[in-house]
Structure 1
Amino acid sequence: MSKSGENMFHVDSEIGVLKQVILHEPGLAFERLTPANKDELLFDDVVWVSRAQQEHRAFQQVMRDRGVTVHLLHDLLAETVKDEQAVAFVLERILDERQPHLGPALARLTGQVLSAMGPDELATHLLGGMNKLELTQALGERSPNGVRSLGLDLMADDDFVLAPLPNSLFTRDTSCWVYDGVSVNPMMMSGRKRETVNYEAIYNFHPMFAESGAHRWIDGEAMAPAALEGGDVLVLGHGTVLIGLGERTTPAGVELLARRLFRTGSAQRVIAMELPKARAFMHLDTVLTMVDEDAFTLFTGLDRRELRSWTLTPGRHQVPDVTENKDVFDAIGNALGLDAVRVLQTRQSSYAAEREQWNDGCNLLAIAPGTVIAYEVNENSNRMLRENGIEVLEVRGDQLGRGRGGPRCMSCPIERGAA
């Protein structure tokens, strides 16, 4: 643990050497996915859980083999809820008696069961959810005489008192580090909002983070209903941040983050880029990632000349100045001090392009300049990258990709060097 006031965690670029990262290995939440609930839980298909775990462990190992320290979300959360204050913090926020399916009695009973769990079991259910049968079995003799819940009576045994969070797999979205601070993000979709509470608890109470001295750019739901998700946030270096404006991140979210970065001087410019508002383009990193000091991948189906973007810089009265750019990559090149930016696009048919977009062909995790992790299924994109001098470390993602997220989505860097 660092001394108070010394920030050992920072992310200074997208492509600097990756040193520490948070990942989440699939578990109980994936076992809860069914054809009936997958849409509500924001997945496109059910998952072969044991195979997804194998794929994820291989993903972890690729990073460990390159010297990256991997922290697993479940373990961080379990270590966090050893602190009684952390447990109280979480339960107060996730068991709001005003939630339609709860009410005062069920919120009380659920809190009673969760607070009696050990740290590992509690972390498992905070991520994996709890159904009525599990709740009633856990209550046993602890159920107070005369306490009856209308909500509980109306539930079937397999209905969720606490919904599972399978999208916790995508650790980038809920928590993203930007230079010398972290943004704990208010999520756009209701099925992901509870993820924010888990990260708030970790950054507030886990010994590794509690005294890190890191700035807190966004403090969870305090910013809602403005929304910001980490898949839209790229730390380019040189005091520049690129943010996508699409399905999940709002203009208010961009401006609020920019204002806080400018206030400390941690960044001097934010470039905001408009995205189509569709699930296939849910985050910026589904269509664009940085792969080398001067190189970006861009989805073949997008024309750089048609991409609208704006540059935000510090303005008066803590209101950012906003200027529309003529070309987003010219703006990026100018910000990074480059004569030109390489925009890498795969030459392929519209059919192949659509398939690779669906399989996150542009969603690449750089672990060093010019070295990226990619799904092996995206053969055309990976070949194109190699032809342009990029080292591609392939991983299998047949099951992991069913939630529409690639290696960058599945990783939250907490320490990375400058490019």
Structure 2
Amino acid sequence: MSSITEIVSTPEIQKNRMHPINVTSEIGTLKTVLLKRPGKEVENLVPEYLQRLLFDDIPYLPVIQREHDYFAETLKNRGIEVLYLEKLVVETLSNQELRKQFIDDILRESQANVNGAAKVLKEYLLSFPTSAMVEKIMSGVLKREIEKSKKTHLYEFMEDHYPFYLDPMPNLYFTRDPAASIGNGISINKMREPARQRESLFMEYIINYHPRFAGHDVPVWLDRSFSFSIEGGDELILSKEVVAIGVSERTSAKAIERLALNLFKRQDSTKKVVAVEIPKCRAFMHLDTVFTMVDHDKFTIHPAIQGPQGNMNVYILEKSPEAEIATISHRSNLQEALKEVLGLSELVLIPCGGGDEIASSREQWNDGSNTLAIAPGVVVTYDRNYISNDLLRQHGMEVIEITSSELSRGRGGPRCMSMPIVREDIIN
């Protein structure tokens, strides 16, 4: 298997390898990004368990893979280094002891030790080469895959009761959520939904053991053992000094406060954390599903998150003389709060679907506000959101559209599907 870092070596990429993480804005020119190509885990979705696995529909694997490949090629054509999660994990698990340790962790978090099944599953998974083992862990293990002679408990024979020993992880192609790059460090997140909680374990192992990251003393601002949930779709790096985090269905206020305090203590450049409260519902599951930064002074927004006169709850956390407490102040207008923390006299909020009652709701459902900025004023979007895309162009944006008939079934857009590892710093 070829290494995912097997690309033309340039001084810039060598620099990135010396400093493996650097993300100080949402819009700095993207240099390195982490993706996950949809795989067999998507085909293990069945109607009876869609809700359990956080899907509303079943994507068609050959087409979703073609669409994802087009997305990846679009980024590569812009000179962006694309890393794949599945390949990084394989490269990480380079020795047998680490493989065993990883499987123990996965089985423990999958609660697969019930009635002794963990021992059989561990033997089964270790029987595969590393690449096939990783694919199997991600795609799920069916009860019917284990030889009957190795089954010793009644529930193991009852495939119609529940078919999986290990649930598939179909949400893995949304690499944004399990971890988030902030400055030269990372938050490795405790995810809210049981269906996704194992996902951040992959990033924990990559940061600790992959040669690209291990030995570089990458700061972990918040780890996955913290008691309260936070997800990367809620974490937006507005500038070197300002981080915005959504208080959402998936991210708790307690996790935001702990992350803010850790950043204030350990990263001098972080001055403010802006907590933005959004409605807690599936349609608005993360801040980046309703709000993204697309240029120095431009943002997309879904109008439905704002009250009359643009009112909503915004809290600015700042470093306090007392290390364990942040200074917290309240604002009621998002646009004014953004101008304040970014030092802007004016900024533009570009409404999803043009603000039309029907179009904005429809296009937000299809991730019209979930843009991936790859440079200031240059964004990747889904082609289906033609009203939002046209409006972005009217505001001077370069809009790169990707196909999305199957990708969008997972309820996430280009930003959700990408975790920036390295961006160029914005020079003010």
TM-score normalized with structure 1 length: 0.93
Q: Which residue of 1 aligns with 2:220?
A: 216
Alignment partner of 1:308 is 2:313: yes
Cα deviation, residue 329, structure 1: 2.4
* Residue 185, structure 1, aligned to residue 197, structure 2: no
Offset of 1:235 from its aligned partner?
A: 0.3
Are 1:97 and 1:104, in contact at CA under 8 Å, matched by a contact in 2? no
Which of 352, 355, 366 is equivalent to 2:362? 355
Instruction: Output the CA distance in 1 between the equivalents of 2:30 and 2:142.
Output: 38
The answer for the alignment partner of 2:265 in structure 1 is 263
The alpha carbon displacement at 1:173 in A equals: 0.3
Aligned-partner SS, 1:11: coil
Q: CA deviation at 1:87?
A: 1.8
The 5 A counterparts of 1:235-314 are 235-264=237-266, 265-303=268-306, 305-314=310-319
Partner of 1:318: 324
CA apart distance, 1:328: 2.4
Could you give the per-residue CA deviations for residues 284-325 of structure 1, whole angstroms, max 9, x where no partner exists? 000000000111011132337222100001121322121112
Counterpart-to-counterpart distance in 1, 2:198 and 2:386: 36
Letter in 1 for 2:263: L
**% identical equivalent positions:** 37
TM-fit CA distance, 1:11: 0.5
Match of 1:95 among 107, 128, 137: 107
| CA–CA separation in structure 2 for the residues paired with 1:249 and 1:157 | 33
Does residue 376 (structure 1) correspond to residue 383 (structure 2)? The answer is yes
Instruction: Provide the rounded CA distance (Å) in 1 between the counterparts of 2:293 and 2:110.
Output: 43
How far does residue 102 in structure 1 lie from its aligned partner after superposition?
3.7
Give yes or no for contact 1:97–1:103 (8 Å, CA) kept in 2: no
Q: Which moved more, 1:267-276 or 1:89-98?
A: 89-98
Q: Is the 8 A contact 2:22 2:185 kept in 1?
A: yes
Q: CA deviation at 1:157?
A: 9.4
SS at structure 1 position matched to 2:336? helix
CA contact (8 A) 1:89 1:201 kept: no
> 2:118 is matched with which residue: 107, 111, 114?
107
Q: Is the 8 A contact 1:254 1:272 kept in 2?
A: yes
Mean CA deviation greater in 249-258 or 325-334: 325-334
CA distance in 1, matches of 2:238, 2:83: 24
Distance between the aligned counterparts of 1:135 and 1:124, measured in 2?
A: 16
Contact conserved, 1:131 with 1:158, CA < 8 A, in 2? no
Contact preservation (8 Å) 2:110, 2:198: no
Distance in 2 (alpha carbons) for counterparts of 1:205 and 1:84: 13
Classify the secondary structure of the residue corresponding to 1:172: coil
Determine helix, strand or coil for the equivalent of 2:196.
Answer: helix
Equivalent position amino acid for 2:248 in 1: G
How many residues are paired up?
Answer: 408
Letter in 1 for 2:338: I
Shift of 1:154: 3.9
CA apart distance, 1:234: 0.2
- Say if 2:278 and 2:305, in contact at 8 Å, map to a contact too: no
The reply to whether residue 393 of structure 1 matches residue 393 of structure 2 is no
**Aligned-residue offset at 1:97:** 9.0
Structure 1 residues 112-151: aligned runs within 5 Å: 112-136=123-147, 143=150, 148-151=152-155
Deviations 1:122-163 (A, max 9, x none): 1101211111122338xx7xx5xxx72354234449711111
**Counterpart-to-counterpart distance in 2, 1:24 and 1:337:** 36
C-alpha distance after superposition, 1:376-401 (max 9, x if no partner): 00010000000000100000111001
Aligned to 2:347: 341
The question of whether the paired residues in 2 share the 8 Å contact of 1:86 and 1:201 is answered with no
Cα 1:253–1:172 change in 2 (3 A) is same
Take 1:243 and 1:58, find their aligned partners in 2: how far apart are those partners? 30
Contact 1:240 1:269 survives alignment (8 Å): yes
For 2:392 and 2:98, the matched residues in 1 are separated by: 44
Q: CA RMSD in A?
A: 2.1
Which residue does the alignment assign to 2:419? 412
Corresponding residue SS for 1:164:
coil
User: Which residue does the alignment assign to 2:26?
Assistant: 14
Structure 1, 378-387 or 101-110: larger mean CA deviation:
101-110
Show structure 2 runs of 5+ residues with no match: 6-13
Q: 1:6 to 1:321 in 2, by over 3 A?
A: farther
Q: How far 1:103 sits from its partner (Å)?
A: 1.8
